Structure 1
Amino acid sequence: MSAAWYGDNRAHLQQVVDARGTCAGAPGHGRRPVAAFDWDNTVTKNDVTDATLSWALRHDAILRPARWKDTSAWLTDAADTALTAACGTDVPPGAPLPTATNPRCTDEIFEIRESGRTMSGAAAFAGDWNHRRTVPQYAWVPQLFAGHTVADLSSYARRARAEALAAPVGSTRLLGTHTVPGYVRYYDQQRDLVRTLRRAGFDVYIVSAGSEPVTEVWSRAVGVDAAHTIAIRSVLDRRGRITTRTQGCGDAPASRGAVIPYIDGKRCWINQEIFGLRGAAAWHRQDARHRPVIAAGDADTDVTFVGDATGAHLVLNRNKGELMCRAYDDADGRWVVNPMFIEPLPRRQDPYPCSTTAYTAPDGTPGPVRRPDGSVLPDLADTVY
């Protein structure tokens, strides 16, 4: 493994690999132990789905929907009005929007994706959803590519990948009036860790809240194939074209984005796709034989499956509240916190609000982070940066 890790993190991870890995296979979910990684800002620096959306907006690759409200079950009237006004109705439904020459349209789309609000500040999504199973603006990205084939989207992702890898580290790009990262890099340390795990007999999976065809384009370069890449899976129509519906998980059917690999949804997809559980059981923590040995993430969307790991919970510090509360509490002594390997964040000055608001309930309300025994975590300082 690469030596460029914080403190004794490399040694800690190597101990787990040595103890639980085997070239011949080991007891686990059937054959070999499992390692699961989030993708964006865990294996790469910067978000590859955003890089693909950026490329698509600069190359007129978004098809105009008949009604913007058809793209999401939760899109508000305000967002529908803003998108219609900004993107116009000159091109027929199903034809490419001229986003490359219409910065207003690009701005509205990207602002909604980024913040869940319109450029005027109005809420872009409203209604009821389980905040530990989905977030509308994440589900909205693959929904924006409705009408395209998976091959189309994969092609856009390959072009965006080439562009992002060629751009200098630290570079930015103007997208409408938004300044966005212009580059993406694989973390050498994570590529090395994946390589080490595979050599030690682990089944390595990617579990992302991005678009699956996009993530698959990127994951191949670290030796993870499509069968081991799990992300948002769009339902296809009879012609093989992407629709605004997404596949379900556990006992949740296909829907317009109600269940994606997000927080508890990542656990469900891991239990279902890796360990073969079906129905409601897929939403629940399983016995140690049916959980990843090593799990890695960088954000609250990863907190459930990273916490399920039995050997090491690897966290890249991006100052995300619930995840960092769990990591710094280190209840089982197996949490491994590392700064981002490229452009790490400075130390957070205030303690994480673990005792009050760092947890997000299914209905979206904030609350305290609790241990399995119900006790509330104290506020915790940021110490790895």
Structure 2
Amino acid sequence: MNHRLRTSAAAAALVLAATGLVSAGQAEARPAGCPTLNSSDGWYGDNKARIDALIADHCDDRGTRKKKPVAVFDWDNTVIKNDVGDATFYWLLRNDRIRPPRGGDWSTTSRYLTPEAATALGDACPTGVRTLPTSTDTRCADELLSVYGTGATTGGKTAFAGHDHRRMEPQYAWLAQLLRGWTTRQVESFAAAARAENLAAPQGATQQVGTARVTGWVRYYEQQRDLIGTLRRAGFDVWIVSASPEPVVDVWAKGVGVDPSHALGIRNTTEHGRLTAHLKGCGTVRDGEDEMITYIDGKRCWINQEILGVRGPAAERAQPASRRQVFAAGDSDTDISFLRDATGLRLVLNRNKNELMCRAYENGDGRWLVNPMFIQPKGQKVTPYPCATTGYTAGDGTAEPVRRPDGTVIPDQRDTVF
């Protein structure tokens, strides 16, 4: 059952004022010219009213404030339904756009690729070609798809190992690394072609890649398009931070009015104007070390470095409240660090992700908003989230309890917003 309450903004404001979540003044009056969200459709409970109250509190519709409040959104399954990295990867395979590594040595594509995976890819895919014929060579396409999509070879061998699980997801990074040899503009053209196909496809469509049927459609969430536009009109500095390759995110972000200069993703290093298989660094990680991407704690680092202007080791740490983003939105454990850093509100789209939902449902400081996904929301998770035992993934990959800032353990949480 999808419990969506379409409460009027006026009634919700009175409730919020009565419970102390906003002031009575906020409930009764709004700054002249300050925008509000256009529709209540899809918003759970008082989420819309609380977001409108936050916007009113920080509104600068005339643009006179020297320092704009910052809002940061994850992209995949937060602003859109489905995954633009996946959509681009499928397009690359169907259109023969992946270049083989020099000499057929697949270990050069990722420092975390296991010998078993490198061997499997070398056995499945040809060498001595300019681009891999994955539109017709299903064995090669299947191996690439398996390593990227499941983190394992078609034979069931682990594909990636040795990474910090709070700073790097090698499967996500591998997509960016497989773009080596292309220019940024070429990658943008690939992403644009994939975007056009996925937006034109009917909801629920699939496509053939190798011998597999995979997701073949993407949709923008109109509620998030409205939210981003409303925040921008109110004077917020709005950013997208994604664990997809940055040229891909740049293409898609334009669809919600966010300029590429305000979209962060996985960044490749370049050589002679073309992307390499190495990645830009952040904080203590230097370019080419390939140890951190826009993923969990890595998202915090990139936000601090590129949005807040913090350099060096300090970029890896949470900043003083006065310097952090006011609003953040995400849907996965990959977003947990930058969501926790937000000082105003933290919007979570419920995809049943353990650590994220443990923290959002406990709602220790009252700033977490949980909302069902706007398209095809997930049903209720029947068993509680395992917060007290295995909800947290440590840097070495071990499962641990989810802890509060003071070190105490968050108890298991029931799924109530779906």
The answer, yes or no, to whether TM exceeds 0.5 is yes
Match of 2:182 in 1: 148
- Given candidates 289, 298, 314, the residue that maps to 2:322 is 289
CA deviations over 1:249-306 (Å, ceiling 9, x no partner): 1121113531101000111111111110011111111112211111000000000001
Please give the root-mean-square deviation of Cα atoms over the aligned residues, in Å.
1.2
Q: Distance in 1 between matches of 2:240 and 2:300?
A: 12
Count, aligned residues: 378
Matched, 1:41 2:74: no
Taking the aligned partners of 1:210 and 1:86, their CA distance within structure 2 comes to 26
> What does residue range 156-171 of structure 1 map to in structure 2 within 5 Å?
156-171=190-205
Q: Which residue number corresponds to residue 208 of structure 1?
A: 242
The structure that has the greater radius of gyration is 2
Do structure 1's residue 250 and structure 2's residue 288 form an aligned pair?
no
Question: Residues of 1 paired with 2:384 and 2:303: CA distance?
Answer: 32
CA distance in structure 2 between the aligned counterparts of 1:55 and 1:63, rounded to whole angstroms? 14
Q: Quote the residue 2:59 is aligned against.
A: 21
Aligned counterparts of 1:37 and 1:257: Cα–Cα separation in 2: 24
TM-superposed deviation, 1:78: 1.0
Give distance in 2, aligned partners of 1:329 and 1:183.
34
Alignment of 1:329-344 (within 5 A): 329-344=362-377
Matched, 1:111 2:146: yes
Question: Partner letter of residue 292 of structure 1?
Answer: Q
1:26: how far off? 7.5
2:228 to 184, 194, 211: 194
Corresponding residue for residue 368 of structure 1: 401
Map of 1:124 onto structure 2: 159
Determine the structure 1 residue equivalent to 2:207: 173
TM-score normalized with structure 2 length? 0.89
Greater than 6 Å deviation, 4+ residue runs: none
1:76 paired residue among 106, 111, 114: 114
Once residues 157 and 126 of structure 1 are traced to their aligned partners in structure 2, the CA distance between those partners, rounded to angstroms, is: 28
Whether the 8 Å contact between 2:278 and 2:289 is mirrored in structure 1 is: yes
Task: Give the counterpart of 1:235 among 266, 269, 277.
Answer: 269
Shift of 1:21: 2.4
User: Does residue 1:314 correspond to 2:347, yes or no?
Assistant: yes
Q: TM-score when scaled to structure 1?
A: 0.96
Q: 2:93 aligns with which of 37, 57, 74?
A: 57
Alignment-derived partner of residue 134 in structure 1: 168
Is structure 2 residue 3 aligned with structure 1 residue 3? no
Indicate conservation of the 8 Å contact 2:82/2:217, yes or no. Answer: yes
Find the aligned partners of 2:380 and 2:90 in 1 and give their Cα distance. Answer: 30
Higher relative contact order (CA 8 A, sep 6+): 1
Query: CA separation in 1, counterparts of 2:311 and 2:290?
Result: 19
Q: What secondary structure sits across from 1:168 in the alignment?
A: coil
SS class of match (2:135): helix
Identical pairs, percent: 56
Verify the 8 A CA contact 2:206 2:217 in the aligned structure 1: yes
Alignment check: 8 A CA contact 1:32 1:201 kept: yes
Report the Cα offset of residue 178 of structure 1.
2.7
Give, in whole Å, the separation in 2 of the partners of 1:45 and 1:257.
28
Check whether the contact 2:281–2:289 (CA below 8 A) recurs between aligned residues.
no
Unaligned runs of 5+ in 2: 1-36
| AA partner of residue 299 (structure 2) | K
Distance 1:24 1:359 in 2: 43
8 Å CA contact retained: 2:136, 2:210: no
Question: Counterparts of 2:227 and 2:256 in 1: how far apart (Å)?
Answer: 10
Q: Secondary structure at the match of 1:356?
A: coil
Comparing 207-216 with 60-69, which one deviates more in the overlay? Answer: 60-69
Where structure 1 has 5 or more consecutive residues not aligned to the other structure, the ranges are: none
Alignment check: 8 A CA contact 1:325 1:380 kept: yes
Inter-CA distance 26–349: structure 2 relative to 1 (3 Å threshold): farther
AA of the residue aligned to 2:358: C
Asked if 1 retains the 8 angstrom alpha-carbon contact of 2:279 and 2:288, the reply is yes
